[in-house]
Amino acid sequence: MRAYAVLVSVLTVLVGALILGVPAQAGAAEPVAAATPVLAQEEPAPGPQLDPQTEADARNSRSKLVVGVAAAVLLGIVVWGRHVRSKRAKGK
């Protein structure tokens, strides 16, 4: 039974890491080029501008999704544990 609890906790952590998007190879980033002096500043080409509120809403939505999934998994573990405990109590 203890092995199952450990397995569930490890799987929960792995799923959380996948949802949050942990990079597969953290050390594989390319080196940053040394800073060189800039002689002339060019104006960037005008492009589409995202509303900062839209970006904040996207981050907030993803955070709520992660919390909701974690809560659902934990609720499932609790319900399953109560079911197992009630079966053991009836057996004695």
pLDDT band of 32, cuts 50, 70, 90: low
Over residues 29-53, mean pLDDT:
67
User: Residue-wise over 16-30: b if at least 16 C-beta within 10 A, else e?
Assistant: eeeeeeeeeeeeeee
Q: What is the pLDDT of residue 55?
A: 79
- Region 52-65: mean pLDDT is 86
Q: If you count them, how many residues does the chain have? A: 92
Alpha carbons 72 and 19: distance in angstroms, whole number: 14
